[in-house]
Amino acid sequence: MGAVAGPLKPLLVTVRHERIPRELRGRVVGAYSAAAQSVAPLGMVVAGSAIQSRGLNTTLVAMAIIWEVPAVGTLFVPPFRDMSSTGLPASPRR
């Protein structure tokens, strides 16, 4: 997961900066960062409890399945297929 999340982070930040209006950017980025930072400890507690009760292998398989559902789901959401668009008119190719 780390090998995929590392290179993906700059792409997601770029898309957010392109799509969020300048006057709302501070609020949106602040809310996103606060949510991400507050959920991380909860995830550690849940993962630790799952490892202790179910074992490492079962927990890793469950985590892989949980991560795979939204990843595959993005294939069926039209806005995700249009992420390369910035909303600006295309410049003519020369």
- Find out whether 50 and 59 touch, Cβ atoms under 8 Å: yes
- Tell me what pLDDT residue 83 has: 64
Res. 51: pLDDT tops 60: yes
In terms of average pLDDT, the best of 7-11, 18-22, 79-83 is 18-22
Q: How many CA atoms lie within 13 A of 16 on its CB side?
A: 16
**Residue 87, Ramachandran bin (φ over 0: left; ψ between -120 and 50: alpha; else beta):** left
- Tell me what pLDDT residue 61 has: 95
Name the amino acid, one letter, at 73.
Answer: G
